[in-house]
Amino acid sequence: MMKIITIDIAGCFIDVIDPTIHRLSYLYPNAKFSRNSSTIEIEYLDNEKPTIVEETIRKDVHHQIYRAKIYQDTLPMRKWFYE
Amino acid sequence: MSDFLSNKYSPFRFRELSNHILVTNEIGDFDVFPTDILERFFNDQLTNDEVNQFKNLSIIFDNDSKWRLSSLLRRVRKETESTQRKINYIMLIPTLRCDLSCSYCQVSRAPVNSKGFDWTDSHLAKFESFIEQLELDHVKIEFQGGEPTLRTDLLKKIIQITEKHSTSSEFVVCSNLTTITPEIEELYERDDLVISTSIDGSISTMTENRTSSDDISQQIFNNFQYILKKYGPSKISALPTITEAQIDNPKQLLDIYVDLGFQSIFLRPVNYMGFARKQHRTLSQQVERWNNFYTRSLDLIKDINKTQYFDEFYTSLVIRKIFSKEPNGFVDFRSPSRFLNDTCVIDFDGEIYPSDEARMLSRIRHIDLSVGNLESGINEDKLSVLNDGGINQFHEDCIHCAYMPHCGIDIIDDISRYKRFDVIKQETWFCNKQLFLFDFIFSKVITKDKEWLDLFLRWMKRSTTPSNAYDLFL
């Protein structure tokens, strides 16, 4: 059965939704991620292996959002560190 | 600098573990927070204590604490800047011939009576020119094989050449210990030479993995005891390769190492290299099975430590790297890997490799990872291609990993297993093995598991004396 989860993304993370979706698509190849202004929608087959657990994927979406935000905000500093 | 100062925070990584969030900064300093910390971090809802925790990690800084950023920068650059090549460890393969045919032989050794697999006088002359150019200070030479003691004449000449062109030197002979002739014994009598051998477990395990003969296995144990009795425990070390023969019974293996008088064991999984690709195909790719074996072994080792000092080499190495910032010379457990910066391998045919595993892959014609030879010297272009891949600080997966600053990158193993190294790291053997061990260590830190922390402290100091330096952990 097809399942759809919609996750609201807070305003300060709007500009990292796209890179987050790219990375989530790579980590969850069996799920389809899409954005709708300030939400991320996840579509997946509920009974497909490996099983996707809603609680886990919700947490992963938020963690990937935080990671993308940290990456974007601190990229100039990382360049300075490693130049 | 003003561009990024406006963000007021430096790069950090996090991982959920033991119902907490572990946070590490760019250099690996770490602290532990509640699971909602990230949401509160980005919503400016940190408590004063949490702000101070982040400041102490040099993650949050204000105008009065920019010095923290400079300090962080200095430490990052010290870890990652390119350093001048200074070789101090050379692995030599004077012969590829061997009198054993182990099931997991990673270098596809040559039969003992075959021709064309030994160094010649020409190789010796080129080796002398090569190391003369390296301007060696102290150097350790490790004789690998094949079985190097088949050519004690070559070993003696190499030792003479090394002594002539270095300020000081030491030697390791990696021998299967099937034979000790008077010529071999003459070498072993040197104070600057130690022996390393393979002991995979009981006689039957040795026979299954290495010798195909209980008599030869027994002879190896007899020779081991002879060396131990005559020269003492500092003369000889041993390490096992874990195959199907031991993976379900770590206790038997550990008991044998304790009985032989060892205070350390390096638990090594069978590599996906050489003969092991066929003989141990399934096991060499089952990382969960390895991790299960490793956990069981560590629990048993903890019990052994109730009565004596005994460490697991790799866990000790990782602990010292995390908590004491102790550097290590393993190109597959550091980042940047810095291939050929301090270590090189010279094969029986004079080809130079960045690691023994790179030699193995080339030997089975999987990929040519030689980065030069004694004749023409080092191929810097090829070497730089490898070195460009050997850095986790820029890898798209590793940059998000809390353990990145403590971890390494093993592109040789990735090439061996997946035929490329631009693979999803979380799906690789190396990453799963490393993640498992880091989670194990940090879960003990987060839960303040005193029994394990006491053991970590002892392994860090390589001592049985109890220590109260728990502040090293948090």
Residues of chain A whose C-beta is under 8 A from some C-beta in B?
10, 12-13, 26-27, 59, 62-63, 66-67, 69-71, 73-74, 76-78, 80-82
Query: What secondary structure does DSSP assign to B244-293, as a single string?
Result: TTTTT-HHHHHHHHHHTT-SEE--EEPPSSTTHHHHTTTGGG-HHHHHHH
**CATH code where residue A71 lies:** 3.30.70
Predicted local distance difference test score (pLDDT) of residue B3: 54
Long-range contacts of B278-285 (CB under 8 A, 24+ apart): B279/B103, B279/B104, B280/B103, B280/B104, B280/B243, B280/B244, B283/B243, B283/B244, B283/B247, B285/B417, B285/B429
**Measured between alpha carbons, how far is B421 from B414 in angstroms, rounded to an integer?**
5
Query: What secondary structure does DSSP assign to B373-435, as a single string?
Result: ETTTEE-HHHHHHHHHHS-GGG-TTGGG-TTGGG----HHHHHHHHS-S-S-GGGSHHHHHHH
**What is the residue type of B63?**
N
pLDDT, tens digit, 9 for 90 and up, residues B242-283? 999 999 999 999 999 999 999 999 999 988 877 778 888 888
pLDDT, tens digit, 9 for 90 and up, residues B74-100? 999 988 887 788 999 999 999 999 999
- Enter the DSSP assignment of A34: E
Q: Nearest CB to B42: which of A12, A77, A82?
A: A12
Q: Nearest C-alpha of chain A: how many angstroms from B396?
A: 10
Predicted local distance difference test score (pLDDT) of residue B110: 93
Long-range contacts of B453-459 (CB under 8 A, 24+ apart): B455/B302, B455/B305, B456/B319, B456/B323, B458/B305, B458/B309, B458/B311, B459/B311, B459/B315, B459/B316, B459/B319, B459/B320
Predicted local distance difference test score (pLDDT) of residue B187: 97
Neighbours of A4 (CB within 10 A): 9
Predicted local distance difference test score (pLDDT) of residue B4: 56
**Measured between alpha carbons, how far is B350 from B332 in angstroms, rounded to an integer?**
23
B73 to chain A: which residues are within 8 Å by CB? Answer: 80-81
Beta partners for residue B329, in sequence order? none
What is the extent of the structural domain holding A51?
2-82
Mean pLDDT of A61-82: 94
Q: Nearest C-alpha of chain B: how many angstroms from A51?
A: 17
> Which one, of A10, A33, A15, lies nearest residue A75 by Cα?
A15
**Omega of the bond prior to B146 within 30 degrees of 0, cis?**
yes
C-beta atoms of A62 and B38 within 8 A: yes
Predicted local distance difference test score (pLDDT) of residue B5: 60
Domain spans in chain B, listed from the N-terminal domain onward: 2-80, 89-381, 391-436, 442-473
| Domain tally, chain A | 1
Q: B89-381: which CATH number, 3.30.70.260, 3.20.20.70, 1.20.900.10, 3.40.1160.10?
A: 3.20.20.70
Low pLDDT (below 50) residues in chain B: 1-2
C-beta atoms of A80 and B73 within 8 A: yes
Whether residue A42 is predicted with pLDDT greater than 70 in this model: the reply is yes
Instruction: Give the list of residues 6+ apart from residue B468 with CB closer than 8 angstroms, or none.
Output: none
Taking chain B, what is the end-to-end CA distance rounded to the nearest angstrom? 31
> What average pLDDT does chain B have?
93
Predicted local distance difference test score (pLDDT) of residue B7: 66
**Measured between alpha carbons, how far is B244 from B233 in angstroms, rounded to an integer?**
29
| Rounded (10°) angle between helices B313-323 and B429-446 | 60
Residues of chain B whose C-beta is under 8 A from some C-beta in A?
1, 3-4, 7, 9-14, 16, 26, 38-39, 42-43, 72-73, 76-77, 80, 393-394, 399-400, 424, 426
Residue B400 main-chain phi, psi, to 5 deg: -100, 0
C-beta atoms of B11 and A78 within 8 A: yes
Predicted local distance difference test score (pLDDT) of residue B57: 95
Size of chain B, expressed as the number of residues it contains = 474
CA atoms within 13 A on the CB side of B209: 24
> Which one, of B301, B300, B277, lies nearest residue B108 by Cα?
B277
Q: What is the pTM of this model?
A: 0.93
**Measured between alpha carbons, how far is B350 from B341 in angstroms, rounded to an integer?**
18
